[in-house]
């Protein structure tokens, strides 16, 4: 099992100096990955289901990870997550391929369908069709990253006679990790993802999602070329050795820790706690 850190670009790490300090420390401590969060805009005033106050800083995902790439050498760079139906996937393919290139092939692309209607409305994105758009956008990214002559013809996106370089460093492309803890997200992970990512998910809720995913795979809906599905989770705060063992028994491959620290020093201390958990688990 690998261990990573969530929130490298937000909250107390929304200040660039703090972000880079913690990114370097995470690598030095032996963590496998650092992960961003994403909300382009937040409802003001905050109202459920919004997860954060509107003045919470979120550095742009790709900008933040490119900056972290410049001060690290090994640690993987995860998007946890990009809200895919809010983005133009043709433009995003270029952005992410560039990030994989400047990091030397360290990108892990986590995506989700989103859930904040006011955010979609502000961006002019289609909230009601977000699931179908997400599915097509994944296929668009793969086409632009892997096809010799990229082309795509779908309901929401269509192109041919174009190309985009550089391609990602990782072949055939960076891992595509589908986030979400609903049945549609489970199906999307089983059918289109190299991995699945559950956020703030207990062992019990993780087991429920994995049952959905495995049922869809057993029904023959996973293409053989996708291989084994990698499982990543961000547990609720308070992670201890007992919970780590519970996740391990469920087949979790990566724990992406979430801290309640309010400043950079607290995040540095949390990185050390995660690294100690990793060592005690043999990671």
pLDDT in tens, 167-185: 999 999 999 999 999 999 9
Q: What angle do CA 268, 274, 278 make, to 5 degrees?
A: 145
pTM above 0.95, yes or no: yes
Q: Which residues make Cβ contacts (< 8 Å) with residue 49, sequence separation at least 6?
A: 115, 116
Residue 282 confidence class, pLDDT cut points 50, 70, 90: confident
**In the chain, % of residues over pLDDT 70:** 100
Q: What is the mean pLDDT of residues 200-204?
A: 97
Which SS3 state, helix, strand or coil, does residue 233 take? strand
**Number of residues in the chain:** 283
CATH number for the domain including 12? 3.20.20.30
pLDDT in tens, 185-197: 999 999 999 999 9
Farthest-apart Cα atoms in the chain, separation: 54
Q: What is the mean pLDDT of residues 274-279?
A: 96
Whether pLDDT at 240 is above 90: yes
Range of the domain at 248: 2-280
pLDDT number for residue 200: 95
Q: Which residues make Cβ contacts (< 8 Å) with residue 119, sequence separation at least 6?
A: 39, 40, 41, 42, 43, 83, 86
Q: Is 108 left (phi over 0), alpha (psi -120 to 50) or beta?
A: beta
Which SS3 state, helix, strand or coil, does residue 194 take? coil
pLDDT number for residue 70: 98
**Domains in the chain, number:** 1
pLDDT in tens, 95-148: 999 999 999 999 999 999 999 999 999 999 999 999 999 999 999 999 999 999
Whether pLDDT at 283 is above 70: no
Q: What is the mean pLDDT of residues 256-263?
A: 96
């Amino acid at each position: 099992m690998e261990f990573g850190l969530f929130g490298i670009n937000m909250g107390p790490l929304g200040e660039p100096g703090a972000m880079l300090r913690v990114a370097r420390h995470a690598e030095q401590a032996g963590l496998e990955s650092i992960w961003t969060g994403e909300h382009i805009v937040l409802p003001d005033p905050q109202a459920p289901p919004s997860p954060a106050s509107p003045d919470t800083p979120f550095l742009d995902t790709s900008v933040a990870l490119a900056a972290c790439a410049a001060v690290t050498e090994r640690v993987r760079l995860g998007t946890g997550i990009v809200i895919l139906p809010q983005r133009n996937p043709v433009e995003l393919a270029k952005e992410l391929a560039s990030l994989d290139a400047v990091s030397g092939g360290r990108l892990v692309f986590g995506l989700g369908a989103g859930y904040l209607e006011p955010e979609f409305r502000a961006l002019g994105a289609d909230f009601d069709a977000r699931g179908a758009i997400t599915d097509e956008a994944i296929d668009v990214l793969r086409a632009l990253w892997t096809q010799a002559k990229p082309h795509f013809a779908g309901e929401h996106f269509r192109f041919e006679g174009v190309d985009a370089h550089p391609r990602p460093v990782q072949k055939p492309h960076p891992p595509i990790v589908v986030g979400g803890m609903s049945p549609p997200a489970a199906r999307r992970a089983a059918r289109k993802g190299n991995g699945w990512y559950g956020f703030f998910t207990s062992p019990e809720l993780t087991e429920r999602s994995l049952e959905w995913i495995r049922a869809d795979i057993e029904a023959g809906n996973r293409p053989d070329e996708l291989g084994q599905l990698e499982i990543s989770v961000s547990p609720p705060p308070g992670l201890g050795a007992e919970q780590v063992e519970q996740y391990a028994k469920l087949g979790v491959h990566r724990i992406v820790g979430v801290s309640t620290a309010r400043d950079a020093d607290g995040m540095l201390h949390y990185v050390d706690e995660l690294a100690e958990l990793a060592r005690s688990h043999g990671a």
